[in-house]
A and B are shown apart, each in its own frame.
Chain A
Amino acid sequence: MRRVLVVGLGEFSPKARETGLEIREMTFEAAERAYLDAGLRPEDVQGIVSSGLDFNEGVSITDSFTPDQVGGRLKFNMLVSGDALEAVYHAFMIVRSGMLDVVLVDGHAKPSEIENYGDVLRCSLDPYCSRPLGFDPYVIAGLEARAFLARTGTDPVAFSKVAAKNINRAALTGGPYGERVSPEDLESDGYLYAPLRRRHVARPSDYAGVVLLAAEDAVPVPEECVELVAVESAGSSSTPHFWLRDWGRARWVGAALKRIESRHGADPRDVDFVEMTEFFAHQELMIASELGIDPGVHLDGRSGPVVNPSGGCLGNGNSLTASGMRAFIASVKQLRGEAGAVQVRGAESGLVVSTHSEIAEIGTVALLRRSGG
């Protein structure tokens, strides 16, 4: 199979609320930067894989609104209904299969324009058994956080340690929710979804990100580049029927890692850092636990991979289905040595873990490494 390289990236950086540009203009800016970064022109790209969900964007057939602003007119197009890392997965398969050589992947979201996101998310629950109860779907996250604590015996202060770590890191990179805080500061926050406190929950951010993937034999490869070694996804239970969940675990992560090991012969745990979409503080601990990272160790930074060096969603915001793209691009920047104040020294490989949505038990895992051309 062909090697797949990340040859370009561009972002409209996350903001708590973007008031100047609308979502298509934000995506245009990200695409323009990705083309510049890759030294490619739109005509060099053969296909577009976008990600998005109708209700988030307030239109049906949301895919139809993507190609014009990313140079995708009259090209191959596929929309993946879910997180942008799933879209990366599709593009990876498209290039690996030999079908296309250069593919653009898009993730964009503007939650600041959604007036009733709680109602939207509630519509992802089973309409007969769950939805009529009328609860805020983030309650599921609270229940899950509680189950995690019960299952592992973790001190709930760990949630504040995770959140403080990520919020402080985002402060170093200008992330929209970055600030200098201590776990003790966060412990004084009120509960939103007990045991989750206010800043244990990622707040919305507007964002667009675009990456260009290419087969190594299709473009001039620089001496140093980033290879997308493997991408896999997995699910645990059924999202609408939340009572079937395996509470307090992100078991799907382990299943995806197994697929990376068995189908790609790679060791996804042997990495220098992990970027993940932790919409809630406990999710970082649940995912880290599935990766075999001791929560105490990773919080203290003594050894093992650095978790969420970019500040994750708690520091940079919840960009809905574009969250996985932000984590992916943050990882590529790490491997290029372009992560600035949060650069992981000597980073050679990284893992991106992205949940399909805040309350889903399905997600995607991507393994990246720095590679010679």
Chain B
Amino acid sequence: MRRVAIVGAGMTDFRSMLPLTSPEMIRLAVKRCLDDVGGLSIRYVDGVLATSAPDAFDGYHDKGAIAVEAAGAIGKPITRVFVGGGSGVAAGVAGWYHVASGAFDTLLVVAWEKMSHPYPHAQKLFQTIFDPVLEKPLGPNLIWIFALEMMRYMEAHGLKKELIAEVAVKNKRNALDHPHAQLGARITVDDVLNSEVLVWPVNRLDISPTSDGAVALLLASEEVAKKLTDNPVWIEGVATCLDSQFWTMRDLAYPYYVYLAAQMAYRMAKITSPLKEVDVWEPYDPFTYKELHHMDGLLGRPGLAPKLLAEGQMEKDGDCPTTPSGGLLGVGNPIAAAGLMKVAELYFQLSGRAGKRQVPDAEVGVAQAWGDLMQVGTVVVCRR
């Protein structure tokens, strides 16, 4: 097994209605990534791994092809992986095995999403994710099923909405320091609670926005990484885990699939006590409660994350710095790109280049994404 490093990262702004096409977003993110590696020529990249969430967003069948020319992949191997909302971090996982297996020495990992294409709103397209026989005829909406999960989580741990709203306050504030953020803001718990109720108990400010954006990372084998940078960030643990598609048969209080993915990634990274050993956490936070829900899974202790939040330990200067990037709630949620943004944040944090977002002395980081029908957990562990 070869060691695999992240040697460069680049991204576009995350915006609603970004005035760029999908290929233009990809090209910009790739250019910024290669510029981050001293203006490396695409000629030195062996292949491209692309990811993007449902084909329906771009109205493209087999939309990985969009990345071929935009990422400079003409004549190179290119492949696309896809596990719903978990795709961004899954691309980090797949990128890792492309290089670790010896198949590639350098690999460009590209994620994008153009959620402003669907008219009048992406929510309509989300209705195509449900089981066509058992669920779709009921006309479900994504926010409905997440409201069910949030309710179950609150009930299982006796949580108040006031505490959960703190996640939005923290992440939107952190996003003020992210140069590409869409919704950085100073808001209060009352702002969250007083925002429009969409589906009880979900208020508008509990939800991340729909966004357009792209992110690119350059991965390299150890031998090549040492030639390209003095400051590589190593991918030391990777995993994904998928639960049953029949989500109504699961207890929604705990993301067991995230727990299993995390345990697998920790074993690879030789992490035995994540709470003590991990310096920066980037869990997937498309909804406020999801950050806590996922942290419970990542920490392997149901109900622990809300306590850490209440104690202020999830702040940048706390013992468990969580989502210093600003996350999906603050930076934005172009689905697959949002997940890869979280891996990019680990790269910026662990290489000491996160600017005002920097967590001091960060050496180990965990990024996680989630998706499909509340079903998949994808995890990457990085080390300086």
Q: Which of A60, A79, A122 contacts B126 (CB 8 A)?
A: A60
The verdict on A81 contacting chain B, using a C-beta distance below 8 Å, is yes
Q: Which of A60, A65, A73, A124 contacts B243 (CB 8 A)?
A: A73
Whether B75 and A1, one on each chain, are in contact in the complex, defined by CB atoms closer than 8 angstroms, is no
- Kindly specify which of A47-55, A177-185, A277-285 makes contact with the partner chain: A47-55
Within 8 A of A (CB), among B206-241: 238-241
Whether A235 and B75, one on each chain, are in contact in the complex, defined by CB atoms closer than 8 angstroms, is yes
Total residue contacts A-B, CB cutoff 8 A? 199
A-chain residues with CB within 8 Å of residue B62 when the two chains form the complex: 53, 55, 81-82, 124, 239, 356-357, 360
Alpha-carbon separation in the docked complex, A81 to B62 (Å): 7
Within 8 A of A (CB), among B159-180: none
Asked, given contacts A59-B128, A64-B245, A65-B245, whether A94 binds B101 with beta carbons under 8 Å apart, the answer is yes
A-chain residues with CB within 8 Å of residue B2 when the two chains form the complex: 97
Whether B65 and A54, one on each chain, are in contact in the complex, defined by CB atoms closer than 8 angstroms, is no
Whether B102 and A96, one on each chain, are in contact in the complex, defined by CB atoms closer than 8 angstroms, is yes
Whether B55 and A73, one on each chain, are in contact in the complex, defined by CB atoms closer than 8 angstroms, is no
Q: Mark A68-112, 1 if CB is under 8 A from B, else 0.
A: 100011111111111000100110111011110000000000000
Q: Which of B61, B75, B82, B131 contacts A255 (CB 8 A)?
A: B75
B-chain residues with CB within 8 Å of residue A78 when the two chains form the complex: 81, 83, 90, 93-94, 240
Q: How far is the CB of B241 from chain A (nearest CB, A)?
A: 6
- Kindly specify which of B256-264, B292-300, B312-320, B352-360 makes contact with the partner chain: B256-264
A-chain residues with CB within 8 Å of residue B60 when the two chains form the complex: 123-124, 127, 240
A-chain residues with CB within 8 Å of residue B81 when the two chains form the complex: 78-81, 90
The verdict on A61 contacting chain B, using a C-beta distance below 8 Å, is yes
B-chain residues with CB within 8 Å of residue A64 when the two chains form the complex: 83-84, 129, 242, 245, 372-373, 375-376
Q: Mark B73-114, 1 if CB is under 8 A from A, else 0.
A: 111111111111000001001101110111100000000000
The verdict on B41 contacting chain A, using a C-beta distance below 8 Å, is no
Whether B128 and A67, one on each chain, are in contact in the complex, defined by CB atoms closer than 8 angstroms, is no
B-chain residues with CB within 8 Å of residue A98 when the two chains form the complex: 1, 100
Alpha-carbon separation in the docked complex, A233 to B56 (Å): 26
Asked, given contacts A74-B243, A74-B260, A78-B81, whether A239 binds B103 with beta carbons under 8 Å apart, the answer is no
Within 8 A of B (CB), among A339-361: 356-357, 360
Asked, given contacts A93-B97, A240-B65, whether A86 binds B242 with beta carbons under 8 Å apart, the answer is no
Alpha-carbon separation in the docked complex, A72 to B376 (Å): 12
Asked, given contacts A53-B55, A76-B264, whether A362 binds B245 with beta carbons under 8 Å apart, the answer is no
Q: How far is the CB of B192 from chain A (nearest CB, A)?
A: 29
The verdict on A266 contacting chain B, using a C-beta distance below 8 Å, is no
The verdict on A149 contacting chain B, using a C-beta distance below 8 Å, is no
Q: How far is the CB of A322 from chain B (nearest CB, A)?
A: 14
Alpha-carbon separation in the docked complex, A360 to B376 (Å): 30
Asked, given contacts A72-B242, A74-B243, A235-B76, whether A60 binds B69 with beta carbons under 8 Å apart, the answer is no
The verdict on A121 contacting chain B, using a C-beta distance below 8 Å, is yes
The verdict on B380 contacting chain A, using a C-beta distance below 8 Å, is no
The verdict on B68 contacting chain A, using a C-beta distance below 8 Å, is yes
Q: How far is the CB of B370 from chain A (nearest CB, A)?
A: 12
Alpha-carbon separation in the docked complex, A277 to B238 (Å): 33
Asked, given contacts A68-B244, A80-B81, A98-B1, whether A63 binds B372 with beta carbons under 8 Å apart, the answer is yes
The verdict on B365 contacting chain A, using a C-beta distance below 8 Å, is no
Whether A77 and B241, one on each chain, are in contact in the complex, defined by CB atoms closer than 8 angstroms, is yes
Within 8 A of A (CB), among B26-77: 53-56, 59-66, 68-69, 73-77
B-chain residues with CB within 8 Å of residue A63 when the two chains form the complex: 82-84, 242, 372, 376
**Which of B73, B74, B78, B97 has most chain A Cβ within 10 Å?**
B97
Asked, given contacts A78-B94, A121-B61, whether A90 binds B79 with beta carbons under 8 Å apart, the answer is yes
Whether B75 and A61, one on each chain, are in contact in the complex, defined by CB atoms closer than 8 angstroms, is no
Whether B80 and A81, one on each chain, are in contact in the complex, defined by CB atoms closer than 8 angstroms, is yes
Q: How far is the CB of B134 from chain A (nearest CB, A)?
A: 12
Alpha-carbon separation in the docked complex, A235 to B2 (Å): 25
Whether A73 and B242, one on each chain, are in contact in the complex, defined by CB atoms closer than 8 angstroms, is yes
Q: Mark A227-254, 1 if CB is under 8 A from B, else 0.
A: 0000011111111110010000000000
Interface residues on A, range: 35 or more
Q: How far is the CB of B17 from chain A (nearest CB, A)?
A: 18
Chain B, interface SS category: mixed
B-chain residues with CB within 8 Å of residue A58 when the two chains form the complex: 128, 132
Alpha-carbon separation in the docked complex, A53 to B68 (Å): 17
Q: How far is the CB of B348 from chain A (nearest CB, A)?
A: 26
Whether A48 and B242, one on each chain, are in contact in the complex, defined by CB atoms closer than 8 angstroms, is yes
Q: Which of A1, A68, A237, A240 contacts B66 (CB 8 A)?
A: A240
Whether A79 and B83, one on each chain, are in contact in the complex, defined by CB atoms closer than 8 angstroms, is yes
Whether B78 and A96, one on each chain, are in contact in the complex, defined by CB atoms closer than 8 angstroms, is no
Q: Which of B64, B84, B102 contacts A61 (CB 8 A)?
A: B84
The verdict on B268 contacting chain A, using a C-beta distance below 8 Å, is yes
Whether A82 and B241, one on each chain, are in contact in the complex, defined by CB atoms closer than 8 angstroms, is no
Within 8 A of B (CB), among A2-61: 48, 53-56, 58-61
**Which of A73, A75, A81, A127 has most chain B Cβ within 10 Å?**
A81
The verdict on B201 contacting chain A, using a C-beta distance below 8 Å, is no
The closest CB in chain A to the CB of B375 belongs to: A64
Alpha-carbon separation in the docked complex, A55 to B56 (Å): 8
Q: Which of A1, A74, A82, A121 contacts B101 (CB 8 A)?
A: A1
A-chain residues with CB within 8 Å of residue B100 when the two chains form the complex: 93, 97-99
The verdict on B154 contacting chain A, using a C-beta distance below 8 Å, is no
Asked, given contacts A94-B97, A124-B62, whether A75 binds B241 with beta carbons under 8 Å apart, the answer is yes
B-chain residues with CB within 8 Å of residue A238 when the two chains form the complex: 65, 68-69, 74
Alpha-carbon separation in the docked complex, A234 to B75 (Å): 7
B-chain residues with CB within 8 Å of residue A362 when the two chains form the complex: 68, 78
A-chain residues with CB within 8 Å of residue B246 when the two chains form the complex: 68
A-chain residues with CB within 8 Å of residue B260 when the two chains form the complex: 74
Whether A235 and B97, one on each chain, are in contact in the complex, defined by CB atoms closer than 8 angstroms, is no
A-chain residues with CB within 8 Å of residue B76 when the two chains form the complex: 234-235
The verdict on B269 contacting chain A, using a C-beta distance below 8 Å, is no
Alpha-carbon separation in the docked complex, A48 to B372 (Å): 15
The verdict on B274 contacting chain A, using a C-beta distance below 8 Å, is no
Alpha-carbon separation in the docked complex, A236 to B68 (Å): 10
Whether A76 and B239, one on each chain, are in contact in the complex, defined by CB atoms closer than 8 angstroms, is yes
Supplied contacts A96-B102, A97-B97, A234-B75, 4 more A-B pairs, CB within 8 Å:
A60-B55, A61-B373, A68-B245, A97-B101
5 pairs, CB–CB < 8 Å, chain A vs chain B: A48-B242, A64-B245, A65-B131, A99-B100, A235-B73
Partner-B contacts on A (CB < 8 A): 1, 48, 53-56, 58-61, 63-65, 67-68, 72-82, 86, 89-90, 92-94, 96-99, 120-124, 127, 232-241, 244, 255-256, 259, 263, 356-357, 360, 362
Q: Which 8 A-B pairs have CB atoms at the shortest separation, nearest pair first?
A: A77-B242, A60-B54, A64-B372, A123-B61, A93-B101, A61-B84, A239-B65, A97-B100
